[in-house]
Amino acid sequence: MPHAQFDPTARQAVAVAAVEAKTRKNLTWQQIAEAAGLSPAFVTAAVLGQHALPAASAQAVTELLGLDDDAEMLLQTIPTRGSIDGGIPTDPTIYRFYEMLQVYGTTLKALVHEQFGDGIISAINFRLDVKKVADPEGGERAVITLDGKYLPTKPF
Protein backbone atom coordinates (compact mmCIF):
# COMPACT_ATOMS: atom_id res chain seq x y z
CA MET A 1 0.00 0.00 0.00
CA PRO A 2 1.45 3.43 -0.91
CA HIS A 3 2.05 5.83 1.95
CA ALA A 4 2.46 9.58 1.68
CA GLN A 5 4.60 11.99 3.65
CA PHE A 6 3.06 15.26 4.80
CA ASP A 7 6.26 16.64 6.34
CA PRO A 8 9.37 16.61 4.14
CA THR A 9 11.78 16.45 7.11
CA ALA A 10 12.28 12.67 7.11
CA ARG A 11 12.86 12.54 3.35
CA GLN A 12 15.29 15.47 3.61
CA ALA A 13 17.29 13.57 6.23
CA VAL A 14 17.45 10.55 3.91
CA ALA A 15 18.58 12.82 1.06
CA VAL A 16 21.37 14.26 3.21
CA ALA A 17 22.52 10.78 4.26
CA ALA A 18 22.32 9.51 0.67
CA VAL A 19 24.38 12.39 -0.75
CA GLU A 20 26.96 11.93 2.00
CA ALA A 21 27.18 8.20 1.20
CA LYS A 22 27.35 8.92 -2.55
CA THR A 23 30.24 11.30 -1.93
CA ARG A 24 32.03 8.97 0.50
CA LYS A 25 31.77 6.05 -1.96
CA ASN A 26 32.67 8.29 -4.93
CA LEU A 27 29.57 7.21 -6.89
CA THR A 28 27.84 9.01 -9.73
CA TRP A 29 24.09 9.49 -10.11
CA GLN A 30 24.40 7.32 -13.23
CA GLN A 31 25.83 4.44 -11.15
CA ILE A 32 23.06 4.79 -8.57
CA ALA A 33 20.44 4.86 -11.34
CA GLU A 34 21.91 1.74 -12.93
CA ALA A 35 21.62 -0.07 -9.59
CA ALA A 36 18.01 1.12 -9.29
CA GLY A 37 17.18 0.14 -12.88
CA LEU A 38 15.66 3.55 -13.65
CA SER A 39 16.72 6.77 -15.38
CA PRO A 40 19.34 9.01 -13.76
CA ALA A 41 16.95 11.97 -13.66
CA PHE A 42 14.19 10.00 -11.90
CA VAL A 43 16.50 8.31 -9.40
CA THR A 44 18.32 11.54 -8.59
CA ALA A 45 15.00 13.29 -7.99
CA ALA A 46 13.79 10.38 -5.86
CA VAL A 47 16.93 10.23 -3.73
CA LEU A 48 16.73 14.01 -3.29
CA GLY A 49 13.17 13.61 -2.00
CA GLN A 50 10.97 14.38 -5.01
CA HIS A 51 9.69 10.92 -6.05
CA ALA A 52 8.91 7.55 -4.52
CA LEU A 53 11.03 4.64 -5.67
CA PRO A 54 9.60 1.19 -6.39
CA ALA A 55 10.52 -1.33 -3.66
CA ALA A 56 13.23 -3.14 -5.66
CA SER A 57 14.84 0.17 -6.65
CA ALA A 58 14.74 1.50 -3.08
CA GLN A 59 16.38 -1.70 -1.85
CA ALA A 60 19.10 -1.52 -4.51
CA VAL A 61 19.83 2.15 -3.76
CA THR A 62 20.02 1.68 -0.01
CA GLU A 63 22.25 -1.38 -0.39
CA LEU A 64 24.60 0.47 -2.75
CA LEU A 65 24.76 3.51 -0.46
CA GLY A 66 24.87 1.53 2.79
CA LEU A 67 21.68 3.10 4.16
CA ASP A 68 19.38 1.45 6.70
CA ASP A 69 15.91 -0.12 6.48
CA ASP A 70 14.24 3.15 7.52
CA ALA A 71 15.82 4.90 4.54
CA GLU A 72 14.64 2.09 2.26
CA MET A 73 11.09 2.49 3.59
CA LEU A 74 11.14 6.29 3.28
CA LEU A 75 12.46 6.17 -0.29
CA GLN A 76 9.24 4.30 -1.15
CA THR A 77 6.88 6.88 0.37
CA ILE A 78 5.17 9.52 -1.72
CA PRO A 79 6.94 12.76 -0.80
CA THR A 80 5.77 16.28 -0.25
CA ARG A 81 7.22 17.67 -3.48
CA GLY A 82 8.97 20.95 -4.03
CA SER A 83 12.62 21.45 -3.19
CA ILE A 84 12.93 25.21 -3.54
CA ASP A 85 11.61 27.41 -0.77
CA GLY A 86 9.71 30.57 -1.69
CA GLY A 87 11.47 33.54 -3.17
CA ILE A 88 14.12 33.84 -5.83
CA PRO A 89 16.60 30.93 -5.74
CA THR A 90 20.10 31.88 -4.62
CA ASP A 91 22.04 28.89 -5.97
CA PRO A 92 23.52 30.10 -9.29
CA THR A 93 22.60 26.95 -11.26
CA ILE A 94 19.01 26.90 -10.00
CA TYR A 95 18.77 30.67 -10.45
CA ARG A 96 19.66 30.32 -14.15
CA PHE A 97 16.67 28.01 -14.65
CA TYR A 98 14.53 30.56 -12.82
CA GLU A 99 15.99 33.24 -15.11
CA MET A 100 15.26 31.14 -18.21
CA LEU A 101 11.62 30.81 -17.14
CA GLN A 102 11.43 34.54 -16.38
CA VAL A 103 12.68 35.30 -19.89
CA TYR A 104 11.11 32.45 -21.89
CA GLY A 105 8.17 31.33 -19.72
CA THR A 106 5.57 33.44 -21.52
CA THR A 107 7.09 32.40 -24.87
CA LEU A 108 6.84 28.73 -23.95
CA LYS A 109 3.25 29.23 -22.80
CA ALA A 110 2.32 31.04 -26.02
CA LEU A 111 3.91 28.39 -28.24
CA VAL A 112 2.43 25.45 -26.30
CA HIS A 113 -1.08 26.96 -26.40
CA GLU A 114 -0.78 27.85 -30.07
CA GLN A 115 0.26 24.31 -30.99
CA PHE A 116 -1.83 22.31 -28.51
CA GLY A 117 -4.63 24.54 -27.24
CA ASP A 118 -5.62 25.27 -23.65
CA GLY A 119 -3.91 22.87 -21.25
CA ILE A 120 -0.68 22.05 -19.45
CA ILE A 121 2.46 19.97 -19.82
CA SER A 122 2.48 17.25 -17.17
CA ALA A 123 5.31 17.02 -14.67
CA ILE A 124 3.91 13.65 -13.57
CA ASN A 125 3.90 11.87 -16.95
CA PHE A 126 7.31 13.30 -17.68
CA ARG A 127 10.84 12.53 -18.79
CA LEU A 128 13.97 14.58 -18.26
CA ASP A 129 17.36 14.17 -19.88
CA VAL A 130 20.59 16.13 -19.51
CA LYS A 131 23.43 15.75 -22.01
CA LYS A 132 26.80 17.42 -22.43
CA VAL A 133 27.68 18.12 -26.07
CA ALA A 134 30.57 19.87 -27.76
CA ASP A 135 29.96 23.47 -28.80
CA PRO A 136 31.14 24.05 -32.40
CA GLU A 137 32.38 27.46 -31.25
CA GLY A 138 34.45 25.88 -28.47
CA GLY A 139 33.66 24.62 -25.00
CA GLU A 140 30.59 22.62 -24.12
CA ARG A 141 26.83 23.03 -24.20
CA ALA A 142 24.11 21.60 -21.98
CA VAL A 143 21.17 20.02 -23.79
CA ILE A 144 18.22 19.66 -21.45
CA THR A 145 15.13 17.85 -22.68
CA LEU A 146 11.85 18.28 -20.81
CA ASP A 147 9.37 15.78 -22.22
CA GLY A 148 5.91 15.97 -20.64
CA LYS A 149 2.54 14.66 -21.70
CA TYR A 150 0.15 17.37 -22.84
CA LEU A 151 -3.08 17.46 -20.81
CA PRO A 152 -5.87 19.51 -22.32
CA THR A 153 -8.20 21.57 -20.17
CA LYS A 154 -11.60 19.89 -20.05
CA PRO A 155 -14.71 22.00 -19.55
CA PHE A 156 -17.09 20.69 -16.91
- Find the catalytic residue in 20, 63, 96, 141: 96
- Find the catalytic residue in 63, 99, 127, 141: 99
Cα angle 53, 119, 106 (rounded to 5 degrees) comes to: 100
Active-site residue flag, 57: no
- Find the catalytic residue in 122, 127, 137, 141: 122
d(CA 51, CA 58): 11
Question: What CA–CA distances, in Å, run from 139 to 59, 95, 96, 134, 144?
Answer: 39, 22, 19, 6, 17
d(CA 42, CA 127): 8
**Three-state DSSP class for residue 122:** strand
Active-site residue flag, 96: yes
Active-site residue flag, 122: yes
State how beta strands 140-152 and 119-134 pair.
antiparallel
DSSP state of 78: B
The residues annotated with a catalytic role in the active site are: 96, 99, 122
